[in-house]
Each structure stands twice: as structure tokens, then as C-alpha cells.
Chain A
Amino acid sequence: MARSTVLTTTLVGMALILGGCATNSPDQGDNINYGEFRQGSEHPAVLMLFGQADDAMQAGNWSAALTYLDQARRIEPRNPYVLYRQAKAVLSAGDSTRAKQLLERARVFANEDDDMLNYLLYELEFQL
């Protein structure tokens, strides 16, 4: 349980970094908050589902979060941020092996952020 918490914290931290890297919107400034992590897509439907998934995550309902994210994945199947969030959801549910697999999948599509995801996978590996 404690290990999951550590992993989740690590992943969320990395997510915030990734979210910040991915967005160039001028109104974001330096103050990265969780809301900015939603900018992993510009598709309105995907953003809506990200929001629903976030709400479910905050309510501790990982299973529901995963289904919202899977709907997002169908719309943007090769968006690494969708897969990243799915990894986060399954990790929160305690399945670190599956989280690692999803991150490896995300890496297939994460061209510019390879270093970040590699680091994330390294961290995850270290924790496992």
C-alpha cells in the first residue's frame, strides 16, 4: 500500500512535469497545478473524459477512471498522455505491473518526451 502511494506520488509528479512540458499555452505560467495535466490533448471529447477521469480518481474510483480513459483512448488511441493516465489509474488500484506495461506502451508514441517517460519507467522499475 505504501509502495503504491510512493509510486502514485512519483507518477503524479512526473505527470505534472509532462503536462507542463506538453503545453505552451501562455496563460499557464510557472505555477503548474493538477488542472494543467489535462492538457495532454486538444480534443474536446478527450479533455472532457480526462476531467471525468480526474473526478473519479479523486473519489478513489479507479475502475471508473479507467473506463473514462479507455473511452478517451478510443478517440486518440496513440496519445501517450491517455496511456499515461491509464497507467496512473491502474497503479492507484495497486497494479504496478500493468502500470509499467502501459507506460511502455505510452513510450511507443511519446516521441519528444522519450527521456521523461524513460525516466519514469526507470523510477517505476526502481520501485518494483
Chain B
Amino acid sequence: MPGKSTQKPANKKPVRKNTASQKEPSKKSSTGAPKGASKVPSKMSSKKPSDQNSRAKQAESGKPKRQWKGKLLALLILLLTLFAAWMVYLDAEVRKAFDGKKWALPAKVYARPLALYPGRLLSPEQLQAELQWADYRASGQVDRPGTYKRAGDTWQIYRRGFPFWDGPEASRVIKVTISSGRIARVSDADGTQALIRLEPQYIGGIFPVHNEDRELVRLEDVPPVLVAALIITEDKRFFEHWGISPTGIARAMVANMQAGRMVQGGSTLTQQLVKNFFLTNERSLSRKVQEAFMSLLLELHYDKEEILEAYINEVYLGQAGRRGIHGFGLASRFYFGKPLRELDHAEIATLVGLVKGASFYNPRRNPQRSKERRDLILRLMADSKIISEADSLRAMRSPLLTASPRRAGQREYPAFLELAKQQLQQDYRLQDLQSEGLRIFTTLDPWVQNAVEQAADSHLSRLENRAPSLKNKLETAAVVTSVDGGEIRALLGARDASFFGFNRALNAKRAVGSLAKPAVYLAALRSGNYHWGTLVDDAPVTVEGQDGSLWQPQNYDKTSHGLLPMQETLQRSLNQATARLGMTVGLNNVVDELTRLGIRDDIPPYPSLLLGAMSLSPLEMTQMYQTIASEGFLMPLRTIDAVTTADGDMLSSYAIRGQQVYDPVTMEWLTAGLKAVVRDGTARRLNSLPQPLAGKTGTSDDQRDAWYAGFDNRHLGVIWVGMDDNAAMPFTGSSGALPIWQETFRRIGTEPLAPPRNLVQIPVNEQGQLMDEGCSATVYEFPVAWQEKDRISCESGVKSLGREIRSWLDRLF
């Protein structure tokens, strides 16, 4: 794999190597120099001059003096040699780190780009939201990338350039017309276009241990005003000194002495860079000396522009949760939501002000302090003629505006990122993901993600209002995928969507309850002995286990409902009928269906599994329903579309893959039952949405888990609600989880299921017998092949088949 062959970057490791090996020269000098030095005085003290033989004495006293000088010289040479060796070592360190890659660049993870093409379902609200999340600004004039204007149904957007996985696209002005919730036309300066993509939103990074994030910029892309402001603020003599500035140090010392405290630092930009780049935060004289020498060496080898560019990319400028914001390039996007070259004077001054203290002068947390610092820098900029006096005053009058920290590019999606990282690690080394600046294009749809987050949050609050004792105890998880591609469009791992921690969507194994029932009905349909109108007895059932224990399932309403059409037993989610049916078709057959649908866990064939007494994660349940929703195509649920290098070269793409494990006719037939669940059954509250839809509610024993899994023509959504301590709730799947699905799909737009291609409708009488066309009876859906089966005429009345079925069932139990 390309990821395996990528070069190991020069990262922060030299820092540690440097610190450790630095001790070696000093050890040598402490064992060498003092030892030699101690001998000299001892020899000198042992020789006392004699009065009697002065010449001899002089000769004797001259000899040790020469010896002393010689040894001093030798010591000096030794020290110089050690110093030279140390310099060579430092020099090698400086050059090694500076010549190679200077930073470990985290992989940048992006959501899916919004594809604009005629016919696409797109509401004005979605377009507005997506533009805002991607840091576009409404403007009267669409005259620069990142601006847009809406006039009625037509949107004019100056789309930014972006390196997509299939090639870079330049910025351009586009027009999008929306009519009746769909895109009617997309055009640009060249006329009507078939397809244009908005650039995808950044949704997070795969960071190295220290969570440093940065966006590299070249010096020529940095506004000259920013460079000038940085220099006059931090190091006026940057272009004159050789890495250290004695006058600067002296001036700082005087200022600090006058103030009686540390008010000014004497470090040059080069020293600051060396400190951040090569050294630890230790404050000691030896570190200062090392910093000074390394600064000199850096200046010796590299020109000022290279050093400046490195500084601009290295400097720490803020924190976003776990993520350290380094460099002006990323800081510009982080604080102002736009690239560096689009910053105005006030914004430049605000960023430069952060260098002195990213936390202390944080414009969001400490706006007043940040504004004072900004205005001070604007004053300096005017005094130094970087900007005019008028520009400076105008900038000082402007409010300290920062982009909303709530917008999509500002936050991460921990649950989705965790799964994306897991899937990426099947093909890439973690080290490469953390350091090579790879670009990861994912399947996340921020509009869908936003919808499910909002829906979950508001519904859990409603549930807690109904049951105040559960306040802040309810948790949730959700997965939304595309029906046909298995792409994960949204993933919620916790109620707090920004939480980096236990990811319930992937790791919470919970009893799935009635969500497992479709496997029972699938086994029945595939047996050839059942159809949706077949009568099934919802009567008490007792099954004896191998250990002698008795399994006696109850219905939710604690009553038995007698003989009912199979479709009704599914739509009402009747436990006794389902258990009876499952035992009739065979436990192993049901287990086989679960496995074939995509459940990979080992499922022991206990009777209780018929009612979902097995623990699976929401993602695993999504896999099962994905196979049903996609008409039998078992496909991996995936988060990754493509991976490119930092330069945009594609390393991998992950298009659709899978296996048709079921005949689509069978899946359409099963889906007919799931449609009935929504139309007339436990999910009928979805009737407010466009129909038909398909789904199944699920409630585990004692109502510890509330589930809903359902799909429309585009998306499948699986929702779970419960408590981490597995306590019982006063909610069912229908009241606990279904409303979250309902609200999510209302927000993202529901597309009714397409009519079945392989089913026909056949009337069935109350005894479950197929009747001739046109008979007055309940109509059920059947595979086309069932048209050839024997039927009874409308006039022939009721045959005794119903009783036969009943007695056949009774024989079994």
C-alpha cells in the first residue's frame, strides 16, 4: 500500500534525541576536565621552593609552571574540541530537522462535498446551512471566493478552489436555482452545467500524540502586512541580527528591571522558533545557551525568509478542545473562517496579538483583552507606516468579530472519526495517518448529521421532561446510511455529539428486542409455506430449554390475540405469534437468516433469540437492515470515499462493493411487511411523512432499550435510546427511538420507497387462502411466481384450510 511506503517524517523526535544526547558532552567534560584540573593544584602544592639553591629552585619552579601552562592549554584544546563537537552535533540536528519535513502533519478529514446537479433534492435551508458551515458569507457583491448572494430562488455563490480527490478545481462563480425543493438549474460563466461540487467541510484530523494541527502556508501566500506586523511586534531587528540580539536582550533586561517583573522577552523570532521547534519548555541557563547557539546555526544555514516561513507555520495560536492550533494558516481559518490571504487589517492584528499569549489574548474567551492588544498592534502598524493612519483608525473601530465556533469546520465529529480511523487503519499505518498530511474524503453528510443530532437532543429532553427522574441519564446512538451504497452519512455515538469517549454506536452491545423479528419472518417467507396473509396463532407458547427451564414469552399488552394474518403479527410486533412462527420454521433457519443478513457475532440458537434476546451494537443492527433496505446486497458500511496525499495524488478510492446475498424479490417481499409496520403498525406515527416507508420498532425486556430501524428510498436510519446502567425506562421503541428517526427524516427530506418491481397483489381470505383476482378480500403482496398457485374462486366460500392450518400448528405445540 502506498501508505506503507511513505517516508518517515522528521517530527518532534529530534527534540527528545537532542535532549538525551546533549548530556553526553557535558558528562565527558565533567569527568575529564575537573579530574585533570585537580591534579594541577596538588602537584603545585607539593613543591616548596628552597633558599639554598635558588637557580635550581628557579629551574624547578619553572618546570611545573610550564607543565601547568601545558595542561591548561591541553584542557583548553579539549574543551574547544568538545565545544566544536557539540556545535557539529547541534548543527547536524538543526539541519536534519530543517532540511526535511519540519512537521508531522495530521491527516485532514473532510465530509462529502455537496454535489449540485439538476434534479437533486435540496431545500433552501440546507443550502443556506451548508454555505454557512463552509464559512461562506452572505454579501451584496459576490466578488471574492467564499461569498454568496440569494435573490429569490437563485443563489449566486463564489465557490472557492479546492483540491478534490479526482483533481483540483479552481474557484468560480456559480448560480444555483432551486424550485420546489429540488435544484432546477446549475450554471457558471460558461452556461448551464451538469454538475458542480461545493468544497467539502473539514470535520477533523487524525492527530499525533500532542494533537498539533496546522495548515501549512508558503511565505508568498502570507499577506505582507501580516509579516510586517509580526516583525515590528515581535522582533524589530529580525532582518538585521544573526539569530540573537544582544541589544534586544539588554533592552528587555532594562525594561524588566524597571518593572520589577518579567514584562519583556529578549528572544528573537529565530530564538522563539528554535525554542518551539527543537527544545522543551524547560527554563534554564543551559537551555538558553543552547537556544542561542542553535539560533546562530539556523541563521548561518538558512535565509531569513525560510526562517520566517517556518515560524509562521510553527507558532502556537490557540486550542480547540484536544486540538492545538499551530501556525497562522490554520489560525486564520479557526478564528475567522477564511484563508490567510483574505484577512483584513484588524484580523491580522488580532492574530499577531495571539503570539504573545494564545490563551491570554484569545478573542473568543477574552475579547476585551484581545481587542486592546489588537489596537496596540494596529497603532504600531500605523507608526511604522505599514498601514495608513486612517486604515489603522478604521480597523480599531471595527468590532472584534470571529467566525462562529459552532460552525461545522470548527468542530469535530468524534463518533464518526473513530470509525473512519478504524477503517483507514485497515489500509494505512497510524503513523502515516498522523504525520503525512493525507487528505481523507469521507461519506459524512453534515446536513444529515446535524439533523440527527438536533432530533436526538430535543427528543431526549422531551422524554426527560416526561420522566424527570431520568434527567441526564438517557443516552442515545444513531447510524444513518445511504440505502444503495452503504455509505455512513451520520453517526451519533453519544447524546453529546462532541464527546470523545464511549462510542455507543460502535461499542454498546444492547439487547435488540423486536428488531430481530424480521429474520424470523424472512425465514418463514423463504420456507415457501408462508405468505403475509397466512394465519399465525398468537397464543401462549412454552418452550423447554435443554436445562429444563421454560421459556414463556408474553406480549407487550399481556394478552394473546389468537389467529391473525402473519403481516398483522409483525406490524403489531406480537411476541407469542413470532415465537410460535420461529419455532415452527426452525431456530437454525432463523440464525442462518441473521448471519446472511450480515450479523457476524456468534448467535447461539436459543428460542429467546426469536424475540431479540441477543446483544448487538447499533452499527451491527444497521448492517442487518442495510441488507434488507438494499434489496439483498450485503455491503460493508463504509466511511471513506478516497484518500489522497497532501499534494492531491490519489492513494485509494473506496467505491461500492458487496455481494448480492438475497434474491431482490425476497427482500421486496419482506419489505412489504415492514411497510405495513409503518402504515398500520407500531410505527404508524410516521404517517405524517411521505409514504410508503418501511421499518421496525424494537423494545427489549423491561424496556431497557428502545430501538427503531427504518428506511425510505434514500436513507436507512437506526436509532437506539437507553441508559448506560441498563436500567428500565418508561418508553418503548415507538415512543423512545422512533420520534428521533421521524424528526431526522423530516429535516433531511423523505423520499417514499419506490413501488416494488417484483411483487403482485393477490386477495387472501380470512383463512389465509389465495383468492381469484377481483375477489373482495384483504390484498397482500406476493412474488410474481405466486400467481401460478392454486386459488379459490370468489364464490367458493371458505374452505376448511384455515382449520387445517390451525390444527397443524396445534399439533406442533
Question: A residues within 8 Å of B by Cβ?
Answer: 43-45, 47-49, 52, 63-64, 66-71, 73-75, 77-78, 83, 86, 98, 101-102, 104-105, 107-108, 111
Which chain A residues border B194 with CB–CB below 8 Å?
44-45, 47-48
Cβ of B660 and Cβ of A105 under 8 Å apart? yes
In this complex, the member of A63, A73, A86, A111 whose beta carbon has the largest number of chain B beta carbons within 10 angstroms is A63
**Sorted from nearest, which 7 A-B pairs have the closest CB atoms?**
A77-B484, A44-B194, A45-B117, A70-B655, A45-B195, A48-B194, A67-B653
B485 in the interface (beta carbon within 8 A): yes
B165 part of interface (Cβ distance < 8 Å):
yes
Which residues does chain A contribute within 8 Å of B165, judged by CB atoms? 67
Cβ of A67: which chain B residues have Cβ within 8 Å of it? 165-166, 641-642, 650, 653, 655
B662 to chain A, nearest CB (A): 10
For residues 411 through 437 of chain B, which have their beta carbon under 8 Å from a beta carbon of chain A? none
The reply on B110 being an interface residue by CB < 8 A is no
- CB of B697, distance to nearest CB on chain A (Å): 27
**Chain B interface main SS type:** loop
Check A45 against B656 for contact (C-beta < 8 Å). Answer: no
Q: Do A105 and B117 contact each other (CB < 8 Å), given the known contacts A64-B166, A67-B641, A111-B757?
A: no
> Which residues does chain B contribute within 8 Å of A52, judged by CB atoms?
166
Instruction: List chain B residues, Cβ under 8 A from A63.
Output: 650, 652-653
Given A64-B653, A73-B656; A45-B118 close (CB under 8 Å): yes
In the complex, 20 of the A-B residue pairs with CB atoms within 8 angstroms, ordered by the A residue number, are A44-B194, A47-B194, A49-B195, A52-B166, A63-B652, A66-B653, A67-B165, A67-B166, A69-B655, A75-B117, A75-B120, A77-B482, A77-B484, A78-B484, A86-B655, A86-B656, A98-B657, A105-B658, A108-B633, A108-B660
Shortest distance from the beta carbon of B428 to any chain A beta carbon, whole Å:
16
Q: Does A48 contact B195, Cβ atoms closer than 8 Å?
A: yes
Excluding A70-B653, A77-B484, A98-B657, 18 further A-B contacts by CB distance (< 8 Å) are A43-B117, A44-B117, A45-B195, A49-B195, A63-B650, A64-B650, A67-B655, A71-B195, A74-B485, A75-B115, A75-B120, A77-B483, A83-B656, A86-B656, A102-B656, A105-B658, A105-B660, A108-B633
Neighbouring A residues of B180 by C-beta, 8 Å: none
B161 at the A/B interface (Cβ < 8 Å)?
no
Shortest distance from the beta carbon of B5 to any chain A beta carbon, whole Å: 16
Check B31 for interface membership: any CB of A closer than 8 A: no
Smallest CB separation, B283 vs chain A (Å): 52
Q: Report Cα–Cα, A98/B117, bound state, in Å.
A: 29
Chain A residue numbers with a CB within 8 Å of B659 are: 101, 104
Q: B632 and A108: CB pair below 8 A?
A: yes
Tell me, in angstroms, the Cα distance from A67 to B643 when the chains sit together: 11
| B119 contacts partner chain A, Cβ-Cβ < 8 Å | yes
Interface residues of B in 105-135 (CB under 8 A from A): 115, 117-120
For the complex, give the distance between the alpha carbons of A69 and B657 in Å: 13
A66 surroundings in chain B (CB, below 8 A)? 653, 655
Q: In the docked arrangement, what's the CA distance between A44 and B658, Å? A: 27
What residues on A are CB-neighbors of B656 within 8 Å? Answer: 70, 73, 83, 86, 102, 105
B277: min CB distance to chain A, Å? 37
In the bound assembly, the distance between CA atoms of A73 and B485 in angstroms comes to 8
Query: Contacting B660 at CB < 8 Å: which of A45, A74, A75, A104?
Result: A104
Which of A69, A71, A83, A102 touches B115 (beta carbons < 8 Å)? A71
Bound Cα distance A74, B633 (Å): 16
Over the window 155-188 of chain B, the binary record of Cβ atoms lying under 8 Å from chain A Cβ atoms (1 yes, 0 no) is 0000000000110000000000000000000000
- Chain A residues, CB < 8 A from B484: 73, 77-78
Asked if B802 is at the interface (CB within 8 A of a chain A CB), the reply is no
In contact, A101 and B166 (Cβ under 8 angstroms):
no
Tell me the minimal C-beta distance from B678 to chain A in angstroms: 21
Closest to B443 in A: A74
Q: Is B631 an interface residue (CB 8 A)?
A: yes
CA distance A44 to B115 in the complex (A): 13
User: Who on chain B is nearest to A67 by CB?
Assistant: B653
> How many angstroms from the CA of A49 to the CA of B194 in the assembled complex?
9
CB-CB nearest in chain B for A56: B166
CB pair A74 B115 closer than 8 Å: yes
Is the C-beta of B664 less than 8 angstroms from some C-beta in chain A?
yes
- For the complex, give the distance between the alpha carbons of A107 and B652 in Å: 27
CA distance A35 to B521 in the complex (A): 47
Residue of B nearest to A68 (CB): B166
Measured CA separation A123–B485 after assembly (Å): 26
Contact B119 A43 (CB under 8 A): yes
B624 shortest CB reach to chain A, Å: 19
Chain B residues near A49: list those with CB within 8 A. 195
Q: Which residue of B lies closest to A66 (CB)?
A: B655
User: Cα distance A49–B653 when bound, in Å?
Assistant: 16
A73 to B195, CA, bound (A): 14
Q: How far is the CA of A60 from the CA of B414 in the complex (A)?
A: 37
Smallest beta-carbon distance A53→chain B, Å:
10
With both chains docked as a complex, state the minimum distance between the C-beta of A49 and any C-beta of chain B, in angstroms: 7
Q: How far is the CA of A102 from the CA of B118 in the complex (A)?
A: 27
User: Most A CB atoms within 10 A — which of B119, B194, B656, B660?
Assistant: B656
Shortest CB-to-CB span from B338 to chain A, Å, is 28
Q: Is the CB of A70 within 8 A of B641?
A: yes
Query: Which residues from chain A contact B633 at a C-beta distance below 8 Å?
Result: 105, 108
Which residues of the other chain, B, contact A74 by a CB distance below 8 angstroms? 115, 482, 485
With A and B bound together, what is the CA distance between A102 and B482 in angstroms?
A: 17
Contacts of B195 in A (CB 8 A): 44-45, 48-49, 71
Specify the chain A residue showing the minimal Cβ separation from B164: A67
A108 touches B664 (CB 8 A): yes
* Cβ proximity bits B698-738 to A, threshold 8 Å, 1 near / 0 not: 00000000000000000000000000000000000000000
Query: A63 vs B653: C-alpha distance in the bound complex, in angstroms?
Result: 6
Least CB distance, B699 to chain A, in whole angstroms: 32
Compute how far the CA of A104 lies from the CA of B633 in the bound complex, rounded to whole angstroms: 9
Residues of B within 8 A of A48 (CB): 194-195
Q: In the assembly, what is the distance between CA of A86 and CA of B656, in Å?
A: 9
How many angstroms between the C-alpha atoms of A55 and B35 in the bound complex? Answer: 77
A101 and B636 alpha carbons, distance in the complex (Å): 13
- Min Cβ gap A70→B in Å is 4
Q: Give A102 to B119 CA distance when docked, in angstroms.
A: 26
A71: chain B residues at CB < 8 Å are 115, 195
A105 to B485, CA, bound (A): 11
Q: Are B657 and A101 in contact (CB under 8 A)?
A: yes
